[in-house]
Amino acid sequence: MKIFRYTILIALLSGFSACNYLDIVPDNIATLDNAFVSRNMAEKFLFTCYSYLPARDNLRSDPSFFGGDEYWHYDVNNESWNIARGNQNVVEPYNNYWDGRSQGKALFRGIRDCNIFLEKIHDVPDLDDFEKNRWIAEVNFLKAYFHFYLLRMYGPIPIIDENLPISSGTDEVKVERRHVDEVFDYIAGLLDKAAADLPEKIELEAIEAGRITKPIALAIKARVLVFAASPLFNGNADYADFTSRNGDPLFSAAYSAEKWKRAADACKEAIELCHATGHKLFYWQPNKPDLSEVTIAKMNIRNAVTEEWNPEVIWANTLSMTSFIQWASQARLVPEGTANIHSLLAPTLKIAEMFYTRNGVPISEDKTWDYSGRYQLRTATHEERFHIQEGYQTVALHFDRETRFYASMAFDGAMWYGQGRFDDKDPYYVQAKMGQNAARKAVSWYSVTGYWPKKLVNFNNAVTLGISYSAEPYPWPEIRLADLYLLYSEALNELNGPGPETFKWVNLVRERAGLKSIEESWSTYSKSPGKYTTKAGLREILHRERNIEMAFEGHRFWDLRRWKEAEQVVNAPVQGWNIEEEETQAYYQVQTLFNQTFQKRDYFMPIREASLIQNERLVQNPGW
């Protein structure tokens, strides 16, 4: 870490597409001599602290999109995708949030700016105590979140609680990595401190939407403590010999059930506050009265993500407005595909097979569903028209699936509601074989698998023949209530095993998806009807439930790691359909696009070698 100088450049905040408190361009250059001379200048510094929040709309900077096994791609220049392809390295690591390189933001710099704010805010002469305390709470939250983001990526990290003065010696500024339990406790403590002075709701939504509230702080605390309790960080014997330079252990090899107790309590506290402040699972209320119940059920799922400020979203990140994500997710639905429909976020066949049958159990477990015949061709009937084009041939895999499958994914023959057609009796349908509307047209901007993440596309975006596609951006939902419910069920199962309270929260999420309870679905349809009655069996169910409900929202990448399941799950072929073919039979031949590998070292990102040379007290992550 370099010696921090008490003169900084305030970041130029530009490129945000929403009209909110972040649409402020502060002075290009400011020093600490004038950054806190007035309320107005201090507020600009506050927004600078916000500006370090990682932005999801840049698909090269967020490993949770292209860095795992959920999507596949074709561009070797995409930094995140090179992580998925096994090309991560120590010389110039991809998505380097430690140093702020290779599409990563410099989060330690963000933490230092937060510390400057917390030190200097008391010098502002025209700021009342109420507003000052709120701003301090917001920056404490951001400081905690930046530590958590780094911890999730790198494991044990230095804690930067305050900045060192310029008079500090060389040895003083060479910080060391701290035990992961100490870092988790520090983050949780900061979030508690922040929550005490944060508002429960944003009152001035027109100018303050997206700023941090108490429900956000408690919800993120719940997520942090679930991570702390998960196998990667709780009793992980793989890191028993992982020590600091002076030999201090950085992980505890002993498992602690108390961590799950803390996580469950935090989830409960966050849920109770969210309910008290009006958050609830989203159910769409269409303006058009004659839509089918099938379409409405799908839109409950899509709009829980894409309808801005809906009551399910606890934290919507206004620094991450979703224009490019939508262009990258949209399939071409008209003969002349518009120029900015990029269609490059391509879910893999593995993910298509992950979703349940309509009976709410995995396709390999449902005793009424022909798993071995899933790649055989089948023709859609009139009754199936709200999912698949009537008379269209596609594989059996795409039939008799749960609502979330049809709401989240598009495929050859799939109905795509919205995009200018709001009558589900005459909707768009995806046609993806070579020569059809959604097929590959050139060397770029196409789905390499034959699937699209429809869930991420606002249905109000209009597709018009010959006219550019215009996305209606929404702020990225960093955490929503369904996420919190699933975390709570997971924590309760790890703590107490199956029981009414454990089932309650996950079953609320399943109910919104049109599914029966776990107990009824497994008892009636599964080849393993008693699976849900054991902690291990329910754990497997809850992990899959989370992967399904939160699909395409950037959670699977981190969840597979915290569960220590990535070595088993990611080590598999990446597959899709033969998208270069025109004929149906030829198109529906499974193609292996890549043989993906995941090593134990991949659970954490490497620290750049140059950083280790600059600070010899730092140690590299195991395996790197």
Read off the pLDDT of residues 553-601 as tens digits, 9 standing for 90 and up. 999 999 999 999 999 999 999 999 999 999 999 999 999 999 999 999 9
Query: For residue 468, is pLDDT > 80?
Result: no
Predicted confidence at residue 178, as pLDDT, reads 97
Average pLDDT over residues 14-36: 46
401-446 tens-digit pLDDT: 999 999 999 999 999 999 999 999 999 999 999 999 999 988 889 9
Model confidence at 462, pLDDT cuts 50, 70, 90, reads confident
d(CA 145, CA 153): 12
- Cβ-based neighbours of 431, under 8 Å, separated by 6 or more: 412, 413, 437, 438, 439
Predicted confidence at residue 1, as pLDDT, reads 37
d(CA 427, CA 511): 26
Average pLDDT over residues 18-33: 42
127-174 tens-digit pLDDT: 999 999 999 999 999 999 999 999 999 999 999 999 876 555 556 668
What burial letters (b/e) apply to 346-361, b meaning 16+ CB within 10 Å?
bbbbbbbbbbbbbbbb
d(CA 489, CA 487): 6
Predicted confidence at residue 16, as pLDDT, reads 28
Axis crossing angle, helix 107-120 with helix 129-154, rounded to the nearest 10: 160
Predicted confidence at residue 578, as pLDDT, reads 98
Residue 594, phi then psi, degrees to nearest 5: -170, 145
- Percent of the chain whose pLDDT exceeds 70: 93
d(CA 380, CA 398): 10
Amino acid identity at 397: L
Predicted confidence at residue 9, as pLDDT, reads 30
Model confidence at 198, pLDDT cuts 50, 70, 90, reads very high
Residue found by looking up tokens 């859609």 in the block? 380
DSSP 8-state assignment for residue 448: S
Q: Provide the 3-class DSSP secondary structure of residue 435.
A: coil
Query: For residue 264, is pLDDT > 60?
Result: yes
Q: Are 139 and 117 in contact (CB under 8 A)?
A: yes
Query: For residue 15, is pLDDT > 60?
Result: no
Mean per-residue pLDDT of the chain: 92
230-244 tens-digit pLDDT: 999 999 999 999 999
d(CA 294, CA 354): 21
Average pLDDT over residues 193-206: 94
Tokens describing residue 414 = 């799939």
295-354 tens-digit pLDDT: 999 999 999 999 999 999 999 999 999 999 999 999 999 887 666 788 999 999 999 999
Q: 80: closest CA among 328, 439, 442? A: 328
Predicted confidence at residue 34, as pLDDT, reads 86
Predicted confidence at residue 28, as pLDDT, reads 36
Domain ranges of the chain: 1-54+105-278, 293-475, 479-571
41-95 tens-digit pLDDT: 999 999 999 999 998 889 999 999 999 999 999 999 999 999 999 999 999 999 9
Predicted confidence at residue 339, as pLDDT, reads 63
Average pLDDT over residues 6-24: 31
Predicted confidence at residue 44, as pLDDT, reads 95
d(CA 253, CA 360): 37
pTM (2 d.p.) = 0.94
Q: Are 116 and 122 in contact (CB under 8 A)?
A: no
Predicted confidence at residue 14, as pLDDT, reads 27
Q: What sign does the dihedral 450-320-606-243 (CA atoms) show?
A: negative
Q: Are 64 and 55 in contact (CB under 8 A)?
A: no
Give me the CATH topology for the region 1-54+105-278: 1.25.40
Query: For residue 2, is pLDDT > 60?
Result: no
DSSP 8-state assignment for residue 164: P
Helical ranges in 256-367 per DSSP H:
257-276, 293-306, 324-329, 349-354
Average pLDDT over residues 475-486: 98
482-518 tens-digit pLDDT: 999 999 999 999 999 999 999 999 999 999 999 999 9
Average pLDDT over residues 445-460: 97
